[in-house]
Amino acid sequence: MNLLHVFAGNLKRYRLQFGLSQEEFADKASLHRTYISAVEREKRSIALDNIEKIAMALEIDAYLLFVEENRHLTAKEVR
C-alpha cells in the first residue's frame, strides 16, 4: 500500500463528495490551492499538521484519509 496514493485519492474523493473545488477547499483548510493540487496529484508529501487541517476542513477523523478505498465509509456515514 502506498500511503501517499491512498491519502491523495481519499482527499480528492471526500472533497468532491462535499462539492468543493480545490480553491474552496484550500480556503476552508487554510492551505494554498496549489498545495492541495500537488497533494492530490501525489507530487507533494504532507505534514501531520496539514493532515489535521484537511481532516478538520472535511469534518472527518484524520485516520479515514488513510483507509483504502474499498474499506472506508462515506462522509455522511462518518458524521
- Residues in Cβ contact with 76 at an 8 Å cutoff, skipping those fewer than 6 apart: none
What single-letter DSSP state applies at residue 21? -
Residue 79 has what pLDDT?
A: 53
Mean pLDDT in consecutive groups of 10 residues from the start of the chain, 79 residues? 93 97 98 97 95 97 90 56
Burial 11-27 (b: 16+ CB within 10 A, else e): bbebbeeeebebeebbe
Residue 69 has what pLDDT?
A: 74
Residue 64 has what pLDDT?
A: 95
3-67 CATH choice from 1.10.8.50, 3.30.390.10, 2.60.120.10, 1.10.260.40:
1.10.260.40
